[in-house]
Amino acid sequence: MANTIVLSEPTATALMAVWTGLQLEKGVSSTNLASFAIVVQIPYVAGQTTYTYIDNVGAVTDWYRVVRYGPSGLGTYSPPWPVTPPITTTGDGARRSLKNCRRMLGRKLGSLQVATTTADGASDGTTLISRGLANQIDANRYKGWWIMPTDGVSAGQVRIAAENALNPATGQLVVSPAMTSQIVSGTQFELHKLLPPDESSGPVLGLRQALNMALAECWALDRVPLATTGAVSYDISSLGDWLDPDAIHELYGPSISGMPDIPFGSFVTRADANVTNLDVIGLATGYTVNLELTRPGDTFMKTAGVWTDNQMGFTVDSDECLFQPAFITEVALFYCYEALANATTGPAAARYLSLAQDKRRNANIMKLRGLPHPPERAHTGWSIGDDWVAYIR
């Protein structure tokens, strides 16, 4: 195949006083960018700002770079670029998954880079190699960043890039400590600059924990079935340790075929030490009623494809929540900026604190507008009259 390379030099006429033209080079290997060979030298033409070259022996795996040449030698090389950019292999996961939410949060922070290895790293797990990291500029480009593979044997392991960890020519990155296994070609990984993906790799707040705190302060509307026994008081503590008496908004009576659920009579929910009780009159044995309540978003999660009660938020990348990523990440940003304010000093700390305050105000408005606020029954006690069904708490 042929590769067409278009080079732009807006100030070519002025540059002609020092430089003769542009030298195009191609990597001698698609996996090792340490060596490049000259393809062509293109002289400048007065008034011409665009220069096109067709590489008739090109391939989709080729990488190129360009440098100015002149009587005194060569200028500064451009970063190498690929004909076909490295493709991530596994994507961002399901829409509401931890993986997708974490990446959206990282991108909003301006703290995330996702890449895929293009060659096998060292067999002892100390390096990974990706052409996407090659930049020909700075060996400390990723110093202090957290690195986490998201697939393969080492998925979920978090490491840190040390000083001079990057080989700018080859895209090889040294990680410390070593991964538990070799990082082979085709492995997708994340690089995080400001906050780690998980606080276990600290010392600051992890993105997973920020998302879980955001889930805990957001709520979802739920109806939970309750089997009746003819009693006047029911211990409903088994619904979850998150349950609060004030979370119960409505009690719907037994379903009638062909009819929608309708509110039942007067009821009271109350706390008795560690027990939450529902007091109600008139429920015979053998029926099912529904309690309508609001529950924290971290208590109802999809794990291994099944919606599960009482899990404490995100645990693994495939876990899913009830909320749209754009919503929950906006709430989580407050915790991220607050953590960054506490981890820095001076102007940086002041800037992050200001951002945290802005995000808290924004999150509160979003919660007011976007989360359910079911009507509350106004409490009237146990007085029963002709209209007792309409009595409200």
What pLDDT digit, counting tens, does each position of 98-134 carry? 999 999 999 999 999 999 998 889 999 999 999 888 8
CA distance 295 to 243: 7
Q: What is the pLDDT of residues 363-375, one digit of tens each?
A: 999 999 999 988 7
Dig out the tokens for 378 from the structure.
């106004």
- Please name the fold of domain 3-82: Immunoglobulin-like (2.60.40)
Confidence at 185, pLDDT banded by 50, 70, 90: confident
Q: How confident is the model at residue 388 (pLDDT cuts 50, 70, 90)?
A: very low
Give the pLDDT score at 382.
44
Burial category of 259 from C-beta neighbours within 10 Å (exposed 0-12, middle 13-18, buried 19 and up)? exposed
| pLDDT level of residue 66 (50, 70, 90 thresholds) | very high
Percent of the chain with pLDDT over 70: 91
- Tens digit of pLDDT for each residue in 2-14? 899 989 888 889 9
Tokens of 35: 């060596």
User: Rounded distance, CA 222 to CA 205, Å?
Assistant: 30
Omega before 203 within 30 of 0, i.e. cis: yes
Under the banding of pLDDT at 50, 70 and 90, the label for residue 390 is very low
Tell me the CATH architecture of domain 112-193: Beta Barrel (2.40)
- Contact criterion met (CB below 8 Å) for 36 and 82: no
- The domains of the chain are located at 3-82, 112-193, 221-299+375-390
What are the tens digits of pLDDT across the range 232-276? 999 999 888 888 888 888 999 887 778 888 888 888 899 998 899
The predicted model scores a pTM of 0.76
